[in-house]
Amino acid sequence: MLSVLVRIEEAIGRALLAAIVILVFVAAITRFFDYPIVWSVDLAQALFIWLCFFGALKGLRKRAHIGVDYFVQKLPVPLRRGLDLLLAVIALAFLATMAWFGIKLTLLNWQRTFGDSGISYAWVTIAVPIGCALLGLILLAQIAIAIRAGKLVFSPDRDEALAEHQEI
């Protein structure tokens, strides 16, 4: 089931990127011929926001986000593990806060239209709570695996116990 969700996530990401490229290309061509499609750039921007969250999902799932751990690597393993879990919980709290305020923002912007596209701005802002909720679910799964295996959540030098669950 998890591999199906990962494939769906990646397919959506590819589709969003393809749609953005096509929209921007068509907008440039029609503008060249003095028949601009004014809504295409707005729609491409809206899709880009969604694409950013789908990219973040893939990055978190593969543990590919940048981390500065020069000093953390010098700590003893038990302290490093505790700090790692603390940072993961802080990240979860941040994602929950962003999701909460994203919901409030979405509800405030339901009547507002996005640029010249005519679509509700809520379709743009709802990417924040949905994206944060999905990121939070991935992070929760990674925390559970790390606790069960007695390993680190974010560490780039993860061992076999986390490497086999890298697709979460």
Q: Which residues contact 12 (CB under 8 A, 6 or more apart)?
A: 54
Query: What residue ranges of the chain have pLDDT lower than 50?
Result: 156-162, 164
C-alpha to C-alpha distance for 91 and 167, rounded to whole angstroms: 19
Q: How much is the pLDDT for 1?
A: 63
- Is residue 157 in a domain? yes
Integer CA distances (angstroms), 112 to 15, 45, 106, in order: 26, 16, 10
Q: What is the DSSP string of 42-56?
A: HHHHHHHHHHHHHHH
Q: What is the DSSP string of the chain?
A: -HHHHHHHHHHHHHHHHHHHHHHHHHHHHHHHTT---HHHHHHHHHHHHHHHHHHHHHHHHTT-S----TTGGGS-HHHHHHHHHHHHHHHHHHHHHHHHHHHHHHHHTSS-B-TTT-SBTHHHHTHHHHHHHHHHHHHHHHHHHHHHHT--SS-TT--HHHHTTTT-
Q: Which domain holds residue 77?
A: 2-163
- Is residue 76 in a domain? yes
- Is residue 56 in a domain? yes
Q: How much is the pLDDT for 160?
A: 44
Q: How much is the pLDDT for 158?
A: 46
The tally of domains found in the chain comes to 1
Q: How much is the pLDDT for 161?
A: 41
Q: How much is the pLDDT for 133?
A: 96
Q: How much is the pLDDT for 23?
A: 94
- Is residue 103 in a domain? yes
Residue type present at position 91: A
- Is residue 168 in a domain? no
